[in-house]
Amino acid sequence: KQLIIINGPNLNLLGKREPEVYGNQTFEDYLNTLKSKYNNFNIDYFQSNIEGELIDKIQEVGFTYDGIILNAAAYTHTSVGIGDAIKAITTPIVEVHISNTFSREDFRHQSYISPNAKGVILGFGLKSYDLAIQSFI
Ligand code: DQA
């Protein structure tokens, strides 16, 4: 199966960014672990800090890939555009967050992704991505 992990803004800083919330491992490092654990999946990776680039990528893969694992980061809580892109495509999306957004500030309780996601996994640290891949087995 062909999957892609799409990470939104500031997730390129994983490992150095607020380690008490997001841990101290880089995503590239963790991705290597995931790729070898799930070597029967083809797992692409894309990260951008730019909303339109995330939308372009969702459109590009969203009619052919078997699954999208999306952590839209801060855009989760603000982006009507990403929400609409998910509505437009046919590939199922699993929404992922590293932290438990419901135990944090009120503005993180709103998601433009969830209403059109196949499912949501949050709060398990980087392991949330692992659990999301398992949902495609
Ligand atoms: C996040 C949660 C968001 O609220 C935040 O803006 C992020 C990361 C998470 O993975 O926990 O950047 O999506």
Full-model pTM: 0.97
Q: Is 10 in the pocket of ligand 1 (CB under 6 A)?
A: yes
CA distances from 38 to 31, 42, 64, 75, 94 (A): 10, 8, 20, 28, 17
Q: Which of 65, 75, 97, 112 is catalytic?
A: 97
**pLDDT tens, position by position, 31-44:** 999 999 999 999 99
Ligand 1: atom nearest CA of 97 is 10
Residues with Cβ < 8 Å from 52, sequence gap 6 or more?
Answer: 81
CA of 104 to the centre of ligand 1 (A): 10
Q: What is the pLDDT of residue 71?
A: 98
Residue 105 carries which side chain, given as an amino acid letter? E
Ligand 1: atom nearest CA of 72 is 13
Instruction: Give CA–CA dist 123/41, Å, rounded.
Output: 24
**pLDDT tens, position by position, 63-120:** 999 999 999 999 999 999 999 999 999 999 999 999 999 999 999 999 999 999 999 9
Q: What is the pLDDT of residue 46?
A: 98
Q: Whose CA is nearest to atom 13 of ligand 1?
A: 73
Q: What is the pLDDT of residue 105?
A: 97
User: Dihedral of the CA atoms 5, 9, 12, 14 (nearest 10)?
Assistant: -90
Structure-block tokens of residue 9: 């803004």
Q: Where are the domains of the chain?
A: 2-134
Task: Give the H or E element holding residue 2.
Answer: strand 2-7
**Helix and strand tally (H, E) in the chain?**
5, 5
Q: Tokens 């790729």 map to which residue?
A: 35
Residue 22 is among the residues annotated as catalytic for this protein: yes
CA of 91 to the centre of ligand 1 (A): 23
Q: Is 99 in the pocket of ligand 1 (CB under 6 A)?
A: yes
Task: Read off the pLDDT band of 15 (50, 70, 90).
Answer: very high
Q: What is the pLDDT of residue 64?
A: 98
Q: What is the pLDDT of residue 101?
A: 98
Q: What is the pLDDT of residue 35?
A: 98
CATH class of domain segment(s) 2-134 = alpha beta
Mean pLDDT of 16-36: 94
Ligand 1: atom nearest CA of 77 is 4
CA of 2 to the centre of ligand 1 (A): 25
Residue 9 carries which side chain, given as an amino acid letter? P
Alpha helices by DSSP H, 48-135: 51-61, 80-88, 127-134
